[in-house]
Amino acid sequence: SNLVGAGRGSGGGDDLGAPDELIPFQDEGDEQDKGAGRGSAHGDLDELKSSLVNESENRSGSASGSDSEAERPPQQPRESFQKPRDYLAEVRRQQDGGFFKGPPYPSYPFLMIPELGSPYLPNGALSPGGARTYLQMKWPLLDVPAGATLKDTRSPSPAHLSNKVPVVQHPHHMHPLTPLITYSNDHFSPGSPPSHLSPEIDPKTGIPRPPHPSELSPYYPLSPGAIGQIPHPLGWLVPQQGQPVYSIPPGGFRHPYPALAMNASMSSLMSSRFSPHMVPPSAHGLHPSGIPHPTIVSPIVKQEPTQPSMSPGGNSKSPITVKKEEEKKPHIKKPLNAFMLYMKEMRAKVVAECTLKESAAINQILGRRWHSLSREEQAKYYELARKERQLHSQLYPTWSARDNYRKREKQPQQQIQETGNSVASKSKKLCVQYLPTEKPCDSPASSHGSMLDSPATPSTALASPAAPAATHSEQAQPLSLTTKPEARAQLSLHSAAFLSSKAASSSSSLTSQSPLLSRPIPFTTALLTSPPSFPTAIPSQAALAVLQAQPLSLVTKPAE
């Protein structure tokens, strides 16, 4: 926590409490090295690729680890077999520094601004020029003209500035560069942003940017059509495509949170988008103030439209009726955690860097990048997530994550285990190495067969090269490699076969990006689950000894 506090600069003054999530960082003091190591990276893709080639060549000769590798605990083994996809990790090393170098999150609030407008096409596709710059934002961001039905959120009064408005989620159909409404700047002590970085000015062109409805809080989705017509120059944690995450009731806003206010044009858009039946006036999940949190999503948005008129009477409802009514309830989504926030922000970059489109593959990259982030960088997301949760709890004090649990019969863990033997019959898609091995990305890395991100020793099979010293996330969720029960089952059932086959087919094909190998503990589990099939995957005897010392906690889990 001290480290984080120092990194944020402001030290105390966090009225939201100590960043407990950051505590795991406190005992690791290599952050400066890490940050410095990435400091020179740039976001330019061409430069990155060329540097990747050079570095990969150097690496192949010296087999020396990168700075991040040097940070890795010595007990973390490395793998001798190289992975075709490891260039992605190299991309990560290169670009993580660039992404987080300088402006990205030196402090809050910041917004990431696309250069010369949106890199996304009206249909949501990413245009070639997806580069973004970061714009430090004045707080609050929203522009509410006088006379609007909403409060003026741009009030320079300290009271406004003190408001914490963690608006970080965005509706899917919003413009991808929907602005991030940051939290108050009393965190991370951003200081007063330069006047030239006012949200009204394009930092690139210097052209004053007229206020736009889509610049309003990303919590509030605009209609897809409206978004498509309105390029949004601001963005940060934004969905690339997506369904609306947050809905706004036609009732307007009476909310103390400045960023939750909207201007007249926004109200117009909202009213045109959300029909009364979509967002009931007194919808469940609404904040007592009547302000909907962006996590409110009318189920109808995703589900087929139903009769507008809801039968309020709750007498003798049939299960179907009850189900329908439940479906009509506004769906309050869970607040995004730190990694989800990170993913939202970085996904577009990864997609732009690679030809990969599948989210599963992208997420693997992002997962590794996440671990490659410095603690300070992660801390920013943890802080955002924490405030996100706080606001969420304020808006929906009665909401519980349980509310979003699927309505189904509970299956006790014991029962799950008892039925685990039948997992094979329920196995789904084989999920081991999602990223293509042959040509995972538009990178020159795979041309020479040297995995850019690949370590020199086989021990890396037990630890992602990207993974720094164990983070709190790893400590808290050592088996989160694949959280799906069925996937875990497959892990034990298929991992061995996969790994052995991969090892047999190619001595360098076992990739650390494989979910099985990307994290030490899960791999351990997989290894111990199917030891006979891991002859070539076992990195070292010492590592194996360590692995065997760990309990085998998951073997087979049945699919639902």
Contact 366, 347 (CB under 8 A): yes
Check the CA dihedral 488-492-494-495 and report its sign.
Answer: positive
Q: Which of 94, 182, 490, 509 binds DNA (CB under 7 A)?
A: 490
* Minimal distance, residue 442 CB to DNA, in Å: 15
Q: Which is nearer to DNA, 266 or 373 (CB)?
A: 373
* Minimal distance, residue 348 CB to DNA, in Å: 8
Rounded CA separation 549/500 (Å) = 22
Which distant-in-sequence residues (6+ apart) come within 8 Å of 160 by Cβ? Answer: 139, 140, 153, 154, 258
* Minimal distance, residue 403 CB to DNA, in Å: 8
Q: Which of 91, 201, 487, 537 binds DNA (CB under 7 A)?
A: 487
Please report, for residues 16, 303, 310, 326, the alpha-carbon distance to residue 319 in angstroms, rounded to integers and kept in the order given.
42, 18, 15, 10
Is 3 near DNA (CB under 7 A)? no
Which distant-in-sequence residues (6+ apart) come within 8 Å of 336 by Cβ? Answer: 168, 169, 237, 344, 385, 388
Is 291 near DNA (CB under 7 A)? no
Q: Which of 169, 182, 372, 437 binds DNA (CB under 7 A)?
A: 169
Q: What is the footprint of DNA within residues 17-46 (CB under 7 A)?
A: 21
Q: Which of 89, 226, 340, 354 binds DNA (CB under 7 A)?
A: 340
* Minimal distance, residue 522 CB to DNA, in Å: 8
Q: Is 407 helix (H, G, I), strand (E, B) or coil?
A: coil
* Minimal distance, residue 383 CB to DNA, in Å: 10
Is 410 near DNA (CB under 7 A)? yes
Q: Which of 172, 212, 232, 255 binds DNA (CB under 7 A)?
A: 172
* Minimal distance, residue 328 CB to DNA, in Å: 16
Contact 436, 361 (CB under 8 A): yes
* Minimal distance, residue 257 CB to DNA, in Å: 19
DSSP characters for 173-188?
A: TS-TTPPPB---TTSS
Q: Is 113 helix (H, G, I), strand (E, B) or coil?
A: strand
Rounded CA separation 138/120 (Å) = 25
Q: Which of 394, 479, 531, 546 binds DNA (CB under 7 A)?
A: 479
Q: What is the footprint of DNA within residues 76-95 (CB under 7 A)?
A: none
Q: Which of 5, 109, 485, 520 binds DNA (CB under 7 A)?
A: 485
Task: Provide the strand spans (E) within 95-180.
Answer: 110-114, 132-136
Is 185 near DNA (CB under 7 A)? no
Q: Which of 363, 372, 500, 508 binds DNA (CB under 7 A)?
A: 363
Rounded CA separation 142/261 (Å) = 7
Q: Which of 151, 170, 293, 387 binds DNA (CB under 7 A)?
A: 170
CA atoms within 13 A on the CB side of 182: 30
Q: What is the footprint of DNA within residues 108-137 (CB under 7 A)?
A: 124
Q: What is the footprint of DNA within residues 299-338 (CB under 7 A)?
A: 304, 331, 333-334, 336-338
DSSP characters for 34-101?
A: HHHHHTT----HHHHHHHHHHHHHHHHHH----HHHHHS-TTS---SS--TTHHHHHHHHHHHHHHHS
* Minimal distance, residue 244 CB to DNA, in Å: 9
Task: Provide the strand spans (E) within 328-401.
Answer: 331-332
Q: What is the footprint of DNA within residues 428-447 (CB under 7 A)?
A: 428-429, 431-434
Q: Which of 15, 47, 57, 358 binds DNA (CB under 7 A)?
A: 358
Q: What is the footprint of DNA within residues 494-523 (CB under 7 A)?
A: 515, 518-519
Is 352 near DNA (CB under 7 A)? no
Q: Which is nearer to DNA, 64 or 400 (CB)?
A: 400
Please report, for residues 191, 338, 362, 475, the alpha-carbon distance to residue 519 in angstroms, rounded to integers and kept in the order given.
38, 18, 16, 11
* Minimal distance, residue 492 CB to DNA, in Å: 12
Q: What are the residues facing 332 on neighbouring strands?
A: 296
Q: Which stretch binds DNA (CB under 7 A): 33-41, 207-215, 225-233, 484-492?
A: 484-492
* Minimal distance, residue 164 CB to DNA, in Å: 16
Q: Which is nearer to DNA, 198 or 359 (CB)?
A: 359
Q: What is the footprint of DNA within residues 535-554 (CB under 7 A)?
A: 551, 553-554
Write down the residue that tokens 């007990």 correspond to.
75
Q: Looking at residue 126, what DSSP letter applies? A: B
Q: Which of 77, 166, 221, 239 binds DNA (CB under 7 A)?
A: 239
Q: Which of 220, 339, 396, 523 binds DNA (CB under 7 A)?
A: 339
Is 242 near DNA (CB under 7 A)? yes
Q: Which is nearer to DNA, 230 or 423 (CB)?
A: 423
347-353 long-range contacts, CB within 8 A, separation 24+: 347/240, 348/119, 348/126, 348/130, 348/176, 348/238, 348/240, 349/43, 349/95, 349/99, 349/130, 351/126, 351/240, 352/45, 352/119, 352/126, 352/130, 353/45, 353/48, 353/91, 353/95, 353/441, 353/442
Is 289 near DNA (CB under 7 A)? no
How many residues sit in the footprint of DNA (CB under 7 A)? 88
* Minimal distance, residue 346 CB to DNA, in Å: 11
Closest CA to 87 of 446, 350, 347: 446
In degrees, rounded to 5, the angle at the alpha carbon of residue 135 between the alpha carbons of residues 383 and 395 is: 40
Q: What is the footprint of DNA within residues 367-406 (CB under 7 A)?
A: 367, 370-371, 378, 382, 385-386, 389, 400-402, 404-406
